Amino acid sequence: MEIKGSMTVKEILKNPKCRAVLNKHFPGLINSPKAKLAGELTVQQVLVKAKGVVPAEKIEAILNDFKKI
């Protein structure tokens, strides 16, 4: 699945395969209050916030898994 920077977290989470990818890399996060708060954020906004917190290699792995969908 091509993930575009303008897509929201909520849009991505509607896809069960995308949910599985996120759960693989961040177990339990998609069911947390943080995920609900992030629902309206775009992918671009999340990537900016994740910089320095989540290793670049992990972000790259997630994006590669999305491409396989």
Using one digit for the tens of pLDDT, what is the confidence trace for 28-44?
888 888 888 888 999 89
Q: Is residue 1 part of a domain?
A: no
- Please give the backbone phi and psi of residue 54, each rounded to the nearest 5 degrees, phi first: -105, 130
Counted domains in the chain: 1
pLDDT value of residue 31: 87
Residue 52 lies in a domain: yes
Which ranges of the chain have pLDDT less than 50? none
**3 within a domain of the structure (yes/no):** no
Give the total residue count for the chain. Answer: 69
- Burial 41-50, CB ≥16 within 10 A → b, else e: ebbeebeeee
The chain-wide mean pLDDT, for the chain, equals 90
Main-chain phi, psi angles of 36, to 5 degrees: -65, -40
Quote the pLDDT of residue 5: 82
Domain that holds residue 16: 9-67
The model carries a pTM of 0.81
Phi then psi dihedrals of residue 42, to 5 deg: -85, 165
